[in-house]
Structure 1
């Protein structure tokens, strides 16, 4: 499993849409307000798959679907959009997880893929 750490939470990153946008340290300034910025703290490449788990601190989510570009984007620029919903859509950089409730986030929290 690969571990990242939240370094910044944009002021509009958490809302009532049940979506989180993750980006790595190379995020552009215009996306900071709506994103969760993370840095990788383990050397393993991210390789998530349907049926796996995504863990925010001690809050565990079941992965129900992974877009075809999610792993590549996470490894290259730390980017993915996480949808907290049961229905799996077709967005290429998406990760679909349940339960359908956003995690309680804080700077310094670990994300385990």
Structure 2
């Protein structure tokens, strides 16, 4: 299990597209407005798989599929795109979760990968 903390929410990060773009603190400045910035303070690597859970605070999401680069990108630069949908797509850094509803987010909230 790995826990990160939301340090910044871009003004356009939450919209009606049913996805969230996560990035670590080394985020390129041109992506700040559309991203959720997370800080990982632990040493344990993120190792999601089908059947894992992704929690935003106490809001629980089931991981139904993930792209082949999702764990690597999360561990290297804190980046993944979370799609809140049943269908599993082909985005290399995608994490596909249900339910199909965006979580309520706030700065300081924990994101748990388990």
SS of the residue 1:30 aligns to? helix
Secondary structure of 2:44's counterpart equals coil
CA offset at residue 30 of structure 1?
A: 0.3
Q: Distance in 2 between matches of 1:57 and 1:64?
A: 19
Counterparts of 1:1-113 in structure 2 under 5 Å? Answer: 1-113=1-113
- TM-score, normalised to structure 2, is 0.98
Shift of 1:41: 2.1
* Count of aligned pairs: 113
* CA offsets 1:39-69 (integer angstroms, 9 cap, x no match): 0022100000001100000000000001000
SS in 2 for 1:112: strand
Could you say what the CA RMSD is over the residues aligned between the two structures, in angstroms? 0.4
Between the aligned partners of 1:75 and 1:43, the Cα distance in structure 2 is: 10
Calculate the TM-score normalised by the size of structure 1: 0.99
Q: Distance in 2 between matches of 1:91 and 1:8?
A: 24
Can you give the 5+ residue segments of structure 1 that lack an aligned partner in the other structure?
none
